[in-house]
Structure 1
Amino acid sequence: MKLTSSALLALSISSLTAMANAEEFIATQLKSGASAQSETKGFVEEQTLGGTTRNWYANELKRRSDRFTYNDHGTRETTPRRINWVQGSILDYKSGFTEGTIGFSTQVAAYNAIALDRDVKDIAGPNNRTLTRSNGDAVGQWSKLGLANISARISNTTLTAGRQNFSSPTIDVIGNRALPSSFQGVALHSEEFNNLSFDAGSFDRVSPRTEQSLSKFRSEYGATGVETDRASVAGLNYQPFKNLKTTLYATHVEDFWNQYYFGAVHDIGDNAVLGLNTNLNYYKTLDTGSKALGNINNDAYSLAFALTHQAHTLSLSFQQIVGDEYFDYLHETNGIYLANSLLSDFNGPNEKSLQLAYSINMAQYGIPGLKFNAYHARGWDIDGTNYKGTAYDVKNMNGETHYEYSVGTSYAVQSGPLKATAIRASYTTHRASKNQSDGNINEFRLVTTIPFNIL
């Protein structure tokens, strides 16, 4: 008997529910005691000024016959290697909230980037790593307002308008470059209940990681470059039991899609002896409006299990896409919470993937802050031959496969003037069949992030 994806999803939800039923139910009620707004100390009294500086280095090498294509002062050239080295800095000012029933605050953050490697062939632009001019030259230094917003708060509910950070399973700040993205619009966050919170947002522009100007939204995998003026999202986070957290969100991207998300995380056991973490993510995507990306009817889910014994964690993740197009999300966002979203997203049409990962926390062995990790992931059954539209380049994908493995380490300084400074290094290899879109590449990254406080 063939187990369908719907049946597997239902079985996963049932398993989580069964585990949760053995625990004590948490009744939802208004938070008792003082609210966040009633405890504010004032606009000036709680102001902060600080930020981070990040040194971001990536060295990529295409393998087999794959090549990067770049613009060298009007001539199209190819190269197997791409090197990007950027210093990104953020100076972030946050005021406190004014006192009273309704409190007001503001946030302004200046973003600055310096290209440390400016060789045209090295950076192989344009890309989303080093900002380049139209002739291929690097922009040596540039700045912008990454954040600029005003917030109003009543009790434990805050409304924010302007350029801001926002986090949800479908629209989320992405911070894997020298500078992060941000969004322009209006957002609401409410925590009036003990185990239930709400979020909503509507945004008309994104501030990209490696651009000075604001941009309209476009999809990550669409091949036609169409854009949209608005993306809106609403959802809730609910914790019915001590060890079970659930998330439900709905997102409307004008003329692209309606996307629905359900997530559940359950923990059981004691990590000092043996703990089990179960993580379920599910997305349903349907076309809407003028269907600028054509017909879309897509299901995507992942189910991950992680066993932890003291310093050691071993995890296994299965992921599947059900649909003849990519599982897609908005460019310059981290709107993909699927477990196997790695260097590759493993999100091809009808793709199945499996990941095995291991990590060790060296704090158990007397070196707090030091961690090592490794994973191997494989994707198969990628098939876009039944795709009827033109927005995605998938019709030549017929039984495509690929795999990826990575080793990495990170260290966070535990004390002293550089406390919380994080250093992360990783080496990743990806290999693919002829028509799988991510191709054949090796990448080494070294990222150092140093936080600082002025006020």
Structure 2
Amino acid sequence: MRLFNSSALALAIGVATSTAHADPQSQAYLPLTVAAQSAQAQAKGFVDGQSLSGTTRNWYARERATRAPLWRYYKSDGTRHPTHTRENWVQGTILNYTSGFTQGTVGFAVEAAGYNAIALQQDREAIAGPNNRTLTHSDGDAIGQWSKLGLGNVKARISNTTLTLGRQAVDTPMIAFIGNRALPSSFQGAFLHSAEFDNLTFDLGTFDRVSPRTEQSLSKFRSEYGAAGVETDRASTVGINYQPLKSLTTSLYATKVEDFWNQYYFGANHLFGDSAVLSLSTGLNYYKTVDAGSRKMGDIDNDTYSLSLGLTHQAHTLTAAWQQVNGNEYFDYLHETNGIYLANSLLSDFNGPNEKSLQLSYVLNMAYYGVPGLKFNLYNARGWGIDGTHYRGSAYDVQGLDGETHYEWGIGTSYAVQSGPLKDTSIRATYTTHRASKAQGDGSLNEFRLVTTIPFNIL
């Protein structure tokens, strides 16, 4: 759902015209330089630097299975029944307090955020719970309103290096909060972020629990695609982000998920040319995953990558993205994270064993036509060659996948308010269709989603 990786090199071809006054993206080398300013030296103090802000999000989704029913719901007698439709509608609100850092060589600060959700759709049959969209009791009855401490941490800072202890939001290629529901996930642990250089940052973190999007309690980590339901107590990550050129950003990370796997990531993004004439953006993401420790997820040896090429001319961007899984199991990541920076991670992740996929997408940015903040997008993605017949473990249910295929297309529009009291308010509507062969795991369905997010400031 996001960025991308391994040992790679991006090449681009630029186009120029003698009549256009283009200002192409600079390809200049950026020397490694120490940051000119210290964030801690500019600390305003615990009270003077404090803020109280938040967001409220109205999240609605309606799905319909077009072949076999994909969900089940509980009747009042306790029996479960299949259904072709699922509808979830939730209002999620976050109230976030952040203190300023105390002054001095070492600064201290605190952060606390209360999360609240209101189920606007509470019909058992419509919700088809339990699921990760609306919080329900075990019998499928919706919990009308619930709250939790989404964030709660203490920070210590020296210069431009900050250590955060407690429940927090983290965004790295393998441990990242996921915000595609009414409320986001968060993680409990320790995280160090260092930005002592202008074009290089360093991350180091370890976490023992995740706070899921639609749960009040903390949970142990588990994998997104594993069939055995096994859990682990710790996930740790280390990485650097480096910008060697004005046009090129890179990331290199390693993550150890205790007794699951070791995972390595390389990502690079490059921009060439001038979008007023023609620019080319290149994105590479690569993941290497191998089993580790007591191997609760069985034998894993997986190489997965995506490569995207995007051409932009003024308001128009056309992108092609190739993705390939080399391994007899799913490319897997941790549940309740956005730890899949692959170009073709859409409604489906296109991450089946040995799967190849191609996506074509088009984005129209209406800012060029005098309507800043308004965008339209259209895409089509196809996956084929899914083959799990060579898998010999028991952690993934893939041995019945033999030549499976699927495709997905979607259309969407979004608008972000540019000024006034509702500045940065966003609304996004999407309609997605996914069609799958019989054994492919995502099924055949249509989904309409409408999400409105309103930020607000109190202090």
User: Normalization by structure 2: what TM-score?
Assistant: 0.95
Task: Please give the alpha-carbon distance, in whole angstroms, between the structure 1 residues aligned to 2:244 and 2:439.
Answer: 45
Task: Please give the alpha-carbon distance, in whole angstroms, between the structure 2 residues aligned to 1:150 and 1:71.
Answer: 42
Task: Please give the alpha-carbon distance, in whole angstroms, between the structure 1 residues aligned to 2:238 and 2:74.
Answer: 41
* Contact 2:59–2:452 (8 Å) recurs in 1: yes
Do structure 1's residue 306 and structure 2's residue 301 form an aligned pair? no
Give the C-alpha shift of residue 419 in structure 1: 1.0
1:128-184 deviation per Cα after TM superposition (whole angstroms, max 9, x unaligned): 000000111000000000000000000000000000000100010000000000000
Find the counterpart in structure 1 of residue 273 from structure 2.
269
* Contact 1:66–1:439 (8 Å) recurs in 2: no
* Contact 2:6–2:287 (8 Å) recurs in 1: no
Find the counterpart in structure 1 of residue 247 from structure 2.
243
Three-state SS of the structure 1 residue aligned to 2:9 is helix
1:282-332 deviation per Cα after TM superposition (whole angstroms, max 9, x unaligned): 000000000001000000000000111111100000000000000000000
Three-state SS of the structure 1 residue aligned to 2:139 is coil
Find the counterpart in structure 2 of residue 46 from structure 1.
49
Find the counterpart in structure 2 of residue 5 from structure 1.
none
Aligned positions, number: 443
Percentage identity across paired residues of the two chains: 68
Find the counterpart in structure 1 of residue 424 from structure 2.
420
* Contact 2:10–2:270 (8 Å) recurs in 1: no
Find the counterpart in structure 2 of residue 292 from structure 1.
296
1:207-238 deviation per Cα after TM superposition (whole angstroms, max 9, x unaligned): 00000000000000000110000000000001
Find the counterpart in structure 2 of residue 62 from structure 1.
65
Instruction: Give the one of 429, 439, 450 matched to 2:433.
Output: 429
Find the counterpart in structure 2 of residue 169 from structure 1.
173
* Contact 2:289–2:301 (8 Å) recurs in 1: yes
Do structure 1's residue 341 and structure 2's residue 318 form an aligned pair? no
Find the counterpart in structure 2 of residue 221 from structure 1.
225
Give the C-alpha shift of residue 31 in structure 1: 1.7
Give the C-alpha shift of residue 78 in structure 1: 1.0
Do structure 1's residue 96 and structure 2's residue 91 form an aligned pair? no
Give the C-alpha shift of residue 69 in structure 1: 1.5
Do structure 1's residue 14 and structure 2's residue 18 form an aligned pair? no
Find the counterpart in structure 1 of residue 363 from structure 2.
359
Task: Please give the alpha-carbon distance, in whole angstroms, between the structure 2 residues aligned to 1:394 and 1:333.
Answer: 22
Describe how 1:52-451 pairs up with structure 2 within 5 A.
Answer: 52-73=55-76, 74-451=78-455
User: Normalization by structure 1: what TM-score?
Assistant: 0.96
Do structure 1's residue 26 and structure 2's residue 21 form an aligned pair? no
Amino acid at match of 2:163: L
Task: Please give the alpha-carbon distance, in whole angstroms, between the structure 1 residues aligned to 2:198 and 2:68.
Answer: 56
Q: Any unmatched runs of 5+ in structure 2?
A: 15-25
Quickly say closer, same or farther: Cα 1:156–1:16, change in 2 above 3 A.
Answer: farther
Three-state SS of the structure 2 residue aligned to 1:218 is coil
* Contact 1:279–1:305 (8 Å) recurs in 2: yes
Give the C-alpha shift of residue 195 in structure 1: 1.1
* Contact 1:221–1:392 (8 Å) recurs in 2: yes
Task: Please give the alpha-carbon distance, in whole angstroms, between the structure 1 residues aligned to 2:47 and 2:315.
Answer: 43
Find the counterpart in structure 2 of residue 3 from structure 1.
none
CA RMSD across the alignment: 1.4
After TM superposition, where is structure 1 displaced by more than 4 Å over at least 4 residues in a row?
A: 16-19
Give the C-alpha shift of residue 25 in structure 1: 2.3
Task: Please give the alpha-carbon distance, in whole angstroms, between the structure 2 residues aligned to 1:406 and 1:242.
Answer: 33
Task: Please give the alpha-carbon distance, in whole angstroms, between the structure 1 residues aligned to 2:272 and 2:27.
Answer: 10
* Contact 1:148–1:164 (8 Å) recurs in 2: yes
Task: Please give the alpha-carbon distance, in whole angstroms, between the structure 1 residues aligned to 2:55 and 2:68.
Answer: 39
More displaced stretch, 63-72 vs 48-57: 63-72
Give the C-alpha shift of residue 67 in structure 1: 2.9
Q: Any unmatched runs of 5+ in structure 1?
A: 1-7
Task: Please give the alpha-carbon distance, in whole angstroms, between the structure 1 residues aligned to 2:115 and 2:59.
Answer: 15
Task: Please give the alpha-carbon distance, in whole angstroms, between the structure 2 residues aligned to 1:448 and 1:31.
Answer: 37
Amino acid at match of 1:35: S
Three-state SS of the structure 1 residue aligned to 2:41 is coil
